[in-house]
Structure 1
Amino acid sequence: MTTVASHLVPRRKKSLWRRLPVVHQLRQSVGLQRGMLITGLVITGAFVLTAAFAPLLAPYGFSQLRAGGVAFGSQRPPSVEHLLGTSVGGYDVLSRVLWGAQTALFVIVVAVILSIFAGVALGLVSGYFGGWLDRVLVVVCDAVYAFPSLLLAIVMSIVISGGRANLVGGILAAAISITVVFIPQYFRVIRAETVRIKAEAYVESARVLGASNSRIMFRHVLRNATRTLPLIFTLNSSEAILTLAGLGFLGFGIEPTSAAEWGYDLNKALSDVTSGIWWTSLFPGLAIVLVVLGITLMGESLNDLADPRLRGRRAVAQASGTVAETSVVPGGTLEAGPGGLAGLQDGETFDEHGIEVTS
C-alpha cells in the first residue's frame, strides 16, 4: 500500500504542474507557434522582472540630476558613467528606461483589473437578465467602443488631473481612461458567453431545483464564462502601454519628477533626432516596441491555442501520417495501390493496377 501511494504522489504533482495555464499551453504548442510563445514569454518575463527590480537595477534615480555633487549634464553620449547617455533634461537614460518599466506595469495592472471587474459584472447581468437593461447596456458599450481611445484618454486625463499629474494621479488618470475603453470588450465577451450558457441543461436544472438567480449567475454561469479572459488580458496589456506612451508623448502624462515614462522621454527627444543625438530617443522607443511585441506574441499564441481548429492542424497531420503507415495487412505494411493485397489469398497475385495475374 505504501509503495502504491509513493507512486501516486509524484504522478499527481506532475499532472498538476502540467495543468498550469502557461505550462499547459506551452505543451500544446508546436513548431513556429511554440517559438512565438516562448519568445513572448521571455520578453514579457524580462519586462516584469525589470519593473519589479528597477530600484536595484537602475544606477540612478528616475529624477536624479547629479551624483557626488557633480551634475550629469544634458545630451551626453554613452560613456562608462552613463551607459546609454543622458537626456536633454540631464537625466540618465538607462535609469529612466528601467524605471519606466515599473510605471508601465502599474498602469497595466490597475487598468486591466478595473476593466475586468466592471466589464464582467455588466456583461453577466446584461446577458443573464436581458430585456431593456440589456439593450441599454449594449448601446452604451457600442458607443464607447466606437469613440477614439486616445482621444478619450486625453479627455479623461484632463478631467482627472488637469493634464499633468504626480505618480498616483498620472497612473489613475491613464488607468481609468484605458479602463473606459476596455470595458466594452470584456462586456461583449462575457455577455455572449452568458447568453449561451444560460440555455444549457445544467442551468435549467438548477433553476428547476429552486436555485436563486445570484447562485446560478456566480456558481454556474460565471465560472464557465470567464475562460477566455486571460487571452483578452494579454492582448489589452500591449494596448495599455501604447495608450500610456501616447498620453506622455502628447504632454498629458506624468511629471518627470514624479515617475519615469517612456512617452514623455520620446517627446523631449524630438529635437535631438535632427541634431544627430540618437541615444535619447532610441532606447525609450526600443523599450516600447520590445514590450508591446513580447506581450502581443504571447497573446496571439495563447489565442491560437485556445482555438481547437488552429491548435489541431499539426496534430491532425501527424495522425494522418501515422495512420497511413500503419499495417492493416497480415503479411506486413500496406503498399501503395491494391497490389499490397497479394498476401491475402493463397495462390493469387495481382499487378500494380490490382488486376489478377494468372500463371
Structure 2
Amino acid sequence: MATAVTTPEQAGRRRSWRRLPIVHQLRQSVGLQRGMLIAGLVLMGVFVVTAVFAPLLAPYEYGQLRDDQGTFGAQQAPSAEHWLGTTVGGYDVLSRVIWGSRTALYVIVVAVLLSIVLGVLLGLVSGYFGGWLDRILVVIADAVYAFPTLLLAIVVAIVISGGQSSMWGGIFAAAISITVVFIPQYFRVVRAETVRVKAEAYVESAKVIGASNRRIMTRHVLRNATRTLPLILTLNASEAILTLAGLGFLGLGIQPTAAAEWGYDLNRALSDVSSGIWWTSVFPGAAIVLTVLGLTLVGESLNDLADPRLRTRRRVADVPEDVPEDAPAGTPEVAAVPGGTLSGPDGVGAPHTGGTRA
C-alpha cells in the first residue's frame, strides 16, 4: 500500500495554520463554549459583511426620501416596496439599518485604533520607567476611569463638535470621545504586564549586554505585555457601539442627512411605540443587540479560553494536542493520555517516526 510522506515544510504549514488566532481557539473550545464562540463569530461576520457591502445590500441611500414613484411616506408599514417599513421622517428602515452598520464599524475602527496606540504607549512607558511619571499617569488614568462612560463621552462630543456634525465629523467626535474612555483600560493592562515582564531574567540579561531601553521595550517587553489585548478589543468594540448609540439617542450624534446611525433612529421612534408603530424601533434596536451580543460572545469565549482555570480541556482521545512551537520540524504530534504513557499516532508506546499512513 502506498504511503504519503509528510515533509517538514508541510508539517510546519499545518502547525502554522492550526495556530492562527480564532482557528486555534476554535480547536481548543468544546461543547457550549464552542457554540458560544461560533455564534459570536457568525454575528460578527454578518455585521462586518453588512457594513462593507452596504451600498450593494441597501435598497436605498440612507438619506433617500423618494424614488421614481414619488415620496416614500412616513411611518409606512412593512410591504413589498419597503420590507421593514419607513420611519417618521420618511426614510426606509431597512436601508437605515444596513447603512448604520457601516457607521458603527467606522467608529469602532477609529476609536479602537486610537485608544490602543495611546494606551499601549503610555502603559509601556509608565510601567517600564516607573518613578514620578508612573505615579502621575496612574492618577490621571484612575481619574478618567472613575467618570461614567456615557457622561464623559457626552462632554467630549459637545466640546469637539457642539453635538451636531457631519458624517466624518460625527464619526471622529464619537470615536475620540470613546477613545478618552478606553485609553485608561489599555493603559492599566499594559502597565501591569510591563511591570511583571521587566523583572524577568531575559530582560535583565538584555540590560547586561548593553541593549538600549528602546530595543528592550520594543523587542522584549511589548510583545509579552500585549497578549491580552485581543480580549479587551472585542469587549471594547461592543462598548463603543453602545456609547455611539447612546450619543445618537440623546441627539448628540450624527445627523440623519449625513449618515445613518442606530441610536438616532431609536430616538426618533420613541413616539411611535405608544402609537403601535413597532417597526421603526424594533429593527434598529435588534441591530444594536445582535451586534453587541456577537462581540460579547467572542470576547467572553476568548477570555475563558485564555484562562487555564476557566478553559474546559478537550478529551485527548478525540483530538491530539498540538506539537510544541519549539519542537523540530517534522516531529509527529503526540497525545498525552491521563494516567498512561505517551502514545503516537499509531497508538503504540513510541511515536511513529515515519510518514503518515495513507
Q: TM-score scaled by structure 1?
A: 0.86
CA contact (8 A) 2:30 2:312 kept: no
Which one-letter code corresponds to 1:190 in the other structure? V
Please state how far the C-alpha of 1:150 moved relative to its aligned partner. 0.6
The residue aligned with 1:281 is 281
Please state how far the C-alpha of 1:215 moved relative to its aligned partner. 0.7
Q: 1:290 to 1:202 in 2, by over 3 A?
A: same
Q: 1:124 to 1:118 in 2, by over 3 A?
A: same
The residue aligned with 2:213 is 213
Please state how far the C-alpha of 1:7 moved relative to its aligned partner. 2.9
The residue aligned with 1:246 is 246
The residue aligned with 1:26 is 26
The residue aligned with 1:65 is 65
Please state how far the C-alpha of 1:12 moved relative to its aligned partner. 2.3
Output aligned runs, 1:175-324, within 5 Å.
175-313=175-313, 323=338
The residue aligned with 1:143 is 143
Which one-letter code corresponds to 2:242 in the other structure? L
The residue aligned with 2:113 is 113
CA contact (8 A) 2:72 2:86 kept: yes
Which one-letter code corresponds to 2:209 in the other structure? L
Q: 1:12 to 1:189 in 2, by over 3 A?
A: same
CA distance in 1, matches of 2:248, 2:87: 16
Please state how far the C-alpha of 1:193 moved relative to its aligned partner. 0.5
CA distance in 1, matches of 2:57, 2:281: 21
Matched, 1:74 2:79: no
Please state how far the C-alpha of 1:310 moved relative to its aligned partner. 1.3
Identity of aligned residues (%): 75
Higher helix share: 1
Which one-letter code corresponds to 1:98 in the other structure? I
Write out per-residue CA displacement over residues 279-330 of structure 1, whole angstroms, 9 at most, x where no aligned residue.
00000000000000000000000000000111155559999xx75799xxxx
Which one-letter code corresponds to 1:204 in the other structure? E
CA distance in 1, matches of 2:61, 2:11: 48
CA distance in 1, matches of 2:147, 2:313: 38
CA distance in 1, matches of 2:79, 2:295: 31
The residue aligned with 1:336 is none
Write out per-residue CA displacement over residues 184-210 of structure 1, whole angstroms, 9 at most, x where no aligned residue.
000010000000000000000000111
CA distance in 2, matches of 1:46, 1:141: 35
CA distance in 2, matches of 1:313, 1:142: 37
CA distance in 2, matches of 1:72, 1:236: 37
CA distance in 1, matches of 2:276, 2:6: 67
CA distance in 2, matches of 1:236, 1:307: 19
CA distance in 1, matches of 2:312, 2:124: 31
RMSD across aligned positions (CA): 2.0
CA contact (8 A) 2:119 2:186 kept: yes
Q: 1:216 to 1:269 in 2, by over 3 A?
A: same
CA distance in 1, matches of 2:4, 2:87: 66
Q: Report the more deviating stretch, 239-248 or 65-74.
A: 65-74
CA distance in 1, matches of 2:5, 2:94: 54
Please state how far the C-alpha of 1:55 moved relative to its aligned partner. 0.4
Which one-letter code corresponds to 1:152 in the other structure? L
The residue aligned with 1:339 is none
CA distance in 1, matches of 2:95, 2:311: 42
Q: TM-score scaled by structure 2?
A: 0.87
Which one-letter code corresponds to 1:263 in the other structure? G
The residue aligned with 2:344 is none
CA distance in 1, matches of 2:246, 2:116: 22
CA distance in 2, matches of 1:123, 1:315: 39
Secondary structure at the residue paired with 1:79? coil
Please state how far the C-alpha of 1:263 moved relative to its aligned partner. 0.2
The residue aligned with 2:172 is 172
CA distance in 2, matches of 1:185, 1:225: 14
Structure ranking higher on relative contact order (CA contacts 8 Å, 6+ apart): 2
Gaps of 5+ in 2: 321-336, 342-358
Q: 1:183 to 1:317 in 2, by over 3 A?
A: farther
CA distance in 2, matches of 1:101, 1:252: 18
Please state how far the C-alpha of 1:9 moved relative to its aligned partner. 3.2
Which one-letter code corresponds to 2:19 in the other structure? R
Which one-letter code corresponds to 2:167 in the other structure? L
CA distance in 1, matches of 2:315, 2:184: 35
Which one-letter code corresponds to 2:14 in the other structure? K
CA contact (8 A) 2:29 2:314 kept: no
CA contact (8 A) 2:74 2:89 kept: yes
CA distance in 2, matches of 1:316, 1:131: 48
CA distance in 2, matches of 1:271, 1:312: 48
CA distance in 2, matches of 1:276, 1:5: 68
The residue aligned with 2:86 is 86
Which one-letter code corresponds to 1:28 in the other structure? Q
Q: Answer with 1 or 2: which has the greater Rg.
A: 1
Q: 1:194 to 1:317 in 2, by over 3 A?
A: farther
Secondary structure at the residue paired with 1:308? coil
CA distance in 2, matches of 1:156, 1:4: 63
